[in-house]
Amino acid sequence: MSLIELFLEAGNLKRLPRTGWLLRGIKNPESIADHSFRTALITLFLADELKSKGVEVNIEKAIKMTLLHDLAEARITDVPLTAQEYLNKATGEREALQEMLSPVGRRDLLDLFDEYENETTLEGKLVKFADRLEMLVQTLEYERTGFQNLDEFWGAVEKLRESELYDELGYLVEELLKLRKHESLR
């Protein structure tokens, strides 16, 4: 596989929907690429926020990690939570990513995927935080357009509250929850 072939395969992410939304009846949900873009944007701003609070974070590493975190889904698609009960998504994604990166001589990038998946570094924890926060932002957007029964997605709030980064960044989660509550009172 050449770099051009990798870039073409990555284009699948623009066409593949996030299946959790499809399973909840959302027509034309965001694509995996849509999600990845906003996750990268959130990561950038959260990393800057951490730096302003004196936390040493490698922003370049975090952005690379964010760009890679769903790349393997170009091959295996976005596996919904209901299917993940029966499959080892992380193993499958890692194998697919390895097959995608090896021919272009970038197996080194697998370490970034592992750091993200296992949250073993500050950057991995940051990207996981951004990934979950992005999903909640998307959930609120769908609720604003009238979609109901998305409460299960709000379960990510507890994961965010358990994060080591919650003390520094949790105010964003709480702001999102206040927006949701305010809008539900209308």
In this prediction, residue 167 has a pLDDT band, given cuts at 50, 70 and 90, of: very high
Q: Tens digits of per-residue pLDDT, 90-135?
A: 889 999 999 999 999 998 999 999 999 999 999 999 999 999 999 9
pTM to 2 decimal places: 0.94
Residue extents of the structural domains in the chain: 3-184
Residue 61: per-residue pLDDT:
98
Backbone angles phi, psi at 49, to 5 degrees: -60, -45
Residue 185: per-residue pLDDT:
64
Nearest to 135 by CA among 14, 18, 1: 18
CATH superfamily of 3-184: Hypothetical protein af1432 (1.10.3210.10)
